[in-house]
């Protein structure tokens, strides 16, 4: 029969890989995608939804285009991998055989990462770091804040998905509050000493949201934090604060199926840069946030870029088609305020050891308004492009 590829996870990495393998092999490879949700809500641009620049429906994408493109879409959870038998078990019963397995399950949270918080507290104190209902919940809580209330964020330690994500979120929350609740305050407890695009964000916060945002980094005790979801308090370096919203973004690890497949080492799954194959098993590939790959940040752009390299390599291995040298790229855009967009990005290549950065760029402080607007417009084009590339 035809060679079989099973892809676990229909997000930035998995949807792209499934679509490219099906499309480029023109039916020569049997491709099955396992994904529990019927609509994928992007985390990318979810901060713009918090800020009021997007509607929730703008973020949702269905799998109909992938099915039409020849991918066998199975809406279920993968619950285990038998590497001897080369099968993937499904929560709904039964199992699927594979010749090559691609895992792109995104992230899960490290247990006990923030004192006082666990998954049972995610309604009182949402993470909104997986797309969909959590994002909507955080927005509802933001809109329900009392006049002059306090929005707290507990920021995550490195490495985590979307390095500028928490700080774009702070900007978008501030944008919303400035218009709707201007005496409200934002406090950020951060276990890091510095963060992505820090000078750009801090310049923007001073320009647009003066006095609203109190960022407490590691040097000021930001890493010494606990929360009480019942009392709605946050304790930072011994000081207890009553808060109205508390966005807890805990430390992250690879989506659990990677661990169940036995391809993780610590929190993440080490891969070979040339084809994203697992260092533990050459017939399993790990993409996106779950992978420990080298210099690329964990982003949707990165996952999509890695998926194309992987799809080309898997197709080559299964059908003998030409394999091109691995090249990767990434850009992370962030919106600070209306038409005030900034970006950071780089190109990468595969070395023996890792995905290694070749060249990079970053927006500068003090840029002209028209350049910032052009950067924001570029991000709109990227969103349309990547979602079409993922879902057809
Ligand atoms: P995901 O896209 O999360 O996909 C994983 C999928 O796997 C999910 O659909 C899940 O349901 C499924 N899954 C998990 N376990 C199983 C299982 N056992 N069986 C079956 N399916 C399973 N990136 C950017 O490039 N640009 C941005 O502007 C940007 N902004 C962001 C803002 C925020 C607030 C956040 C949180 C993230 C942002 N990101 C951004 C990061 C981006 O969302 C992730 O890096 C990207 O989604 C990673 O792709 P992935 O394929 O690894 O995981």
* 34-64 per-position pLDDT tens digit: 999 999 999 999 999 999 999 999 999 999 9
Does residue 159 have a cis peptide bond before it, meaning omega lies within 30 degrees of 0? yes
Distance CA 151, CA 129 (A): 16
Distance CA 97, CA 5 (A): 8
Cβ pair 152, 319 in contact under 8 A: no
Q: Is 300 in the pocket of ligand 1 (CB under 6 A)?
A: yes
Compute, in angstroms, the gap from residue 274 CA to the centroid of ligand 1: 22
Q: What element of type H or E holds 328?
A: strand 327-337
Compute, in angstroms, the gap from residue 79 CA to the centroid of ligand 1: 18
| Residue 242: predicted pLDDT | 98
Q: Is 288 in the pocket of ligand 1 (CB under 6 A)?
A: yes
Distance CA 97, CA 90 (A): 11
| Residue 378: predicted pLDDT | 98
Give pTM, 2 decimals.
Answer: 0.98
Q: Which of 340, 343, 335, 336 is nearest to 362 (CA)?
A: 343
Distance CA 232, CA 213 (A): 19
**DSSP assignments along 120-161, one per residue:** GGTTTS----SSSHHHHHHHHHHHTPPTT-EEEEEPPPSS-B
**DSSP assignments along 73-86, one per residue:** EE-S-EEEEETTTT
Q: Which of 315, 261, 254 is nearest to 88 (CA)?
A: 261
Matching residue, tokens 């713009």? 48
The alpha carbon of residue 365 and the mean position of all alpha carbons in its chain are separated, in whole angstroms, by 26
Compute, in angstroms, the gap from residue 69 CA to the centroid of ligand 1: 22
Q: Is 170 in the pocket of ligand 1 (CB under 6 A)?
A: no
Distance CA 386, CA 383 (A): 5
| Residue 9: predicted pLDDT | 98
Cβ pair 191, 155 in contact under 8 A: yes
Which residues, in sequence order, are CB contacts of 218 under 8 Å at separation 6+? Answer: 190, 191, 192, 193
| Residue 356: predicted pLDDT | 98
Q: Is 289 in the pocket of ligand 1 (CB under 6 A)?
A: yes
| Residue 324: predicted pLDDT | 96
Compute, in angstroms, the gap from residue 91 CA to the centroid of ligand 1: 21
Output the CA torsion sign for 150, 134, 254, 102.
Answer: negative
pLDDT tens digits, one per residue of 122-131: 999 999 999 9
C-alpha separations of 44 from 19, 221, 275 in Å: 20, 30, 25
Cβ pair 204, 337 in contact under 8 A: yes
| Residue 352: predicted pLDDT | 96
Distance CA 29, CA 318 (A): 8
| Residue 333: predicted pLDDT | 98
Specify the residue with its C-alpha closest to ligand 1, atom 15. 105
pLDDT beneath 50: ranges in the chain? none
Distance CA 125, CA 151 (A): 11
Q: Is 225 in the pocket of ligand 1 (CB under 6 A)?
A: no
Geometric angle at alpha carbon 371, from 370 and 372, rounded to 5°: 90
């Amino acid at each position: 029969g035809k060679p079989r590829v099973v892809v676990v996870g229909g997000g930035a990495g998995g949807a792209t890989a499934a679509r490219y393998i099906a499309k480029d092999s023109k039916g020569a490879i049997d491709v099955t995608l396992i994904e529990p949700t019927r609509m994928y809500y992007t985390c990318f641009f979810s901060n713009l939804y918090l800020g009021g620049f997007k509607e929730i429906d703008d973020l949702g994408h269905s799998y109909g285009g992938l099915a039409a493109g020849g991918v066998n879409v199975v809406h279920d959870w993968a619950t285990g991998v038998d590497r001897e038998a080369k099968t993937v078990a499904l929560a709904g019963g039964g199992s699927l055989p594979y010749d090559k397995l691609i895992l792109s399950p995104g992230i899960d949270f490290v247990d006990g990462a923030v004192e006082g918080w666990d998954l049972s507290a995610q309604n009182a104190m949402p993470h909104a770091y997986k797309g969909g209902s959590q994002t909507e919940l955080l927005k509802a809580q933001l809109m329900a804040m009392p006049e002059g209330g306090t929005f707290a964020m507990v920021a995550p330690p490195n490495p985590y998905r979307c390095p500028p994500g928490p700080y774009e979120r702070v900007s978008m929350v501030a944008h919303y509050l400035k218009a709707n609740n201007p005496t409200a305050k934002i406090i950020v407890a951060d276990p890091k000493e510095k963060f992505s695009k820090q000078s750009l964000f801090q310049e923007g916060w001073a320009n647009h949201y003066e006095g609203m945002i109190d960022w407490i980094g590691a040097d000021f005790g930001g890493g010494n934090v606990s929360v009480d979801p019942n009392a709605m308090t946050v304790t930072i370096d011994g000081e207890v604060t009553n808060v109205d919203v508390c966005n807890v973004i805990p430390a992250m690890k690879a989506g659990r199926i990677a661990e169940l497949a036995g391809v993780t080492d610590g929190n993440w799954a080490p891969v070979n840069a040339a084809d994203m194959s697992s260092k533990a098993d050459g017939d399993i590939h790990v993409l996106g946030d779950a992978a420990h790959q080298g210099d690329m940040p964990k982003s949707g752009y990165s996952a999509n870029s890695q998926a194309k390299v992987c799809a080309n390599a898997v197709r080559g291995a299964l059908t003998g088609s030409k394999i091109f040298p691995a090249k990767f790229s990434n850009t992370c855009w962030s919106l600070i305020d209306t038409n005030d967009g900034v970006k950071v990005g780089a190109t990468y290549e595969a070395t023996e050891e890792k995905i290694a950065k070749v060249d990079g760029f970053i927006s500068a402080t003090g840029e002209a308004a028209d350049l910032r607007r052009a950067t924001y417009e570029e991000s709109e084009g990227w969103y349309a492009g990547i979602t079409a590339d993922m879902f057809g």
